[in-house]
Amino acid sequence: MIDLRSDTVTKPSEGMRAAIASAPVGDDVYGDDPTVNALQDRVAALFGKEAGLFTPTGSLANQLAIKSLVSPGEELLTETQSHIVRAELGAGAVFSGITTRTWSSAHGILQANEPLSIASPDAGPYIVSTTAIAVENTHNFGGGTIQPIEEIALLRTESKALGLKMHLDGARIWNAHVASGITFADYGSHFDTISVCFSKGLGAPVGSMMLASAERISEARRWRKRYGAGMRQIGLLAAAADFAISHNIERLAEDHRRASLIAHACAEISPLLIDPALAPTNIVAIDLRCTDSTASQLVAELKELGVLAGAMGSHLLRFVTHMDFDDQQLEKVLEVVPALLKRVLVS
């Protein structure tokens, strides 16, 4: 079975397993784990931040970050299809009393004027005040699209003048870096807080990280403990993340190449299904509104043909390439998927 549901389905390589097995460890609740401490310092330095905090999930990293930026009863702005509002089960409201308001962008691609046009900082006693803006890069539900650095910079300049903070949901920022050539430090310079994920394209089994100032990270560490995510000999997982950073960033270009081939093959069936230019990284999002089929129907048919895909809503079929997906499997996908799409278009 070829599994393209997500890039989270990868298995640790032998080299990564060896790194896990040999990792020096200590009790991280006491701050004594040398491997996670070194990883936090390493990733923070990559993005030009003072400190980092390892978390078991990207959702927790996001939630700790926005909690540090937005007080209860205040407002976070983010794009309508962003992970924070679509896939974290209302955690900002449940745990932090944060209200959210969204703007809608084609394929999730940021245009700075859109969040700026709805921002309401210091709105007075009768209207909720905007405190922060969150940007997702790459944009998952947008099809792995990359946020333009010029728009990020403009949003930073204009929002800072309004007294607003910015958070980067950088779960797949590694993909954005490889595809765009923009440095991690350049991305990091525009945000107060950042989350990054090690268990997607980088292939680690578990783990994400929040990055910010030392003061924010110190407070986030306390909240991580309150949420029940204080961890002990976490160096075993930190070693996997460290190995992933050392060995698996540049190889993301292979995932992008394979995804592009799938996107082009689908576009040859009909340009209404996908514009390959809007699949610049490792996500291929097929728009099924030009057919009479739903995403869940095609997911079931593809499974019978030996390919696992994801239904992201009723009419969005998603394929995500990753390090455990090779060129031999690609050949089968390029046979099966276009043929199925051609059939449902004809019918």
Q: Is the pLDDT of residue 346 over 90?
A: no
What's the CA gap between 17 and 281, in Å, rounded?
A: 27
With beta carbons less than 8 A apart as the criterion, state whether 51 and 211 touch. yes
DSSP class of residue 145 equals: B
What's the CA gap between 260 and 175, in Å, rounded?
A: 13
Domains 14-247 and 251-346 share a fold: no
With beta carbons less than 8 A apart as the criterion, state whether 202 and 184 touch. no
What's the CA gap between 14 and 111, in Å, rounded?
A: 42
Task: Tell me the pLDDT tens digit for each residue of 73-132.
Answer: 999 999 999 999 999 999 999 999 999 999 999 999 999 999 999 999 999 999 999 999
Q: pTM of the full predicted structure?
A: 0.96
Q: For tokens 């276009």, name the residue.
A: 338
Per-residue CA distances from 51 to 38, 44, 129, 277 (Å) = 11, 5, 28, 36
203 in the Ramachandran plot: left (φ > 0), alpha (ψ -120 to 50) or beta? left
Task: Tell me the pLDDT tens digit for each residue of 315-345.
Answer: 999 999 999 999 999 999 999 999 999 999 8
What's the CA gap between 200 and 186, in Å, rounded?
A: 22
Task: State both tokens at 168.
Answer: 């980067």
Angle between helices 34-46 and 235-247 (to 10 degrees): 40
Closest by CA to 101, choosing from 140, 63, 74, is 74
What does the domain layout of the chain look like in residue ranges?
14-247, 251-346
pLDDT recorded at residue 333: 98
Task: Tell me the pLDDT tens digit for each residue of 174-216.
Answer: 999 999 999 999 999 999 999 999 999 999 999 999 999 999 9
Q: Is the pLDDT of residue 240 over 90?
A: yes
What's the CA gap between 96 and 284, in Å, rounded?
A: 34
DSSP class of residue 198 equals: S
Assign domain 14-247 to a CATH class.
alpha beta
Helix (H, G, I), strand (E, B) or coil at 267: helix
Q: End-to-end distance of the chain based on CA atoms, in angstroms?
A: 27
Banded model confidence at residue 259, pLDDT cuts 50, 70, 90: very high
Beta-bridge mates of residue 130: 75
Q: Which residue type is seen at 283?
A: I
Task: State both tokens at 269.
Answer: 């069936």
Task: Tell me the pLDDT tens digit for each residue of 12-52.
Answer: 999 999 999 999 999 999 999 999 999 999 999 999 999 99
Helix (H, G, I), strand (E, B) or coil at 185: helix
Beta-bridge mates of residue 102: 78
Average pLDDT of the residues in 253-279 = 97
Closest by CA to 187, choosing from 158, 131, 149, 159, is 149
With beta carbons less than 8 A apart as the criterion, state whether 18 and 222 touch. no
Q: Is the pLDDT of residue 347 over 80?
A: no
Assign domain 251-346 to a CATH class.
alpha beta
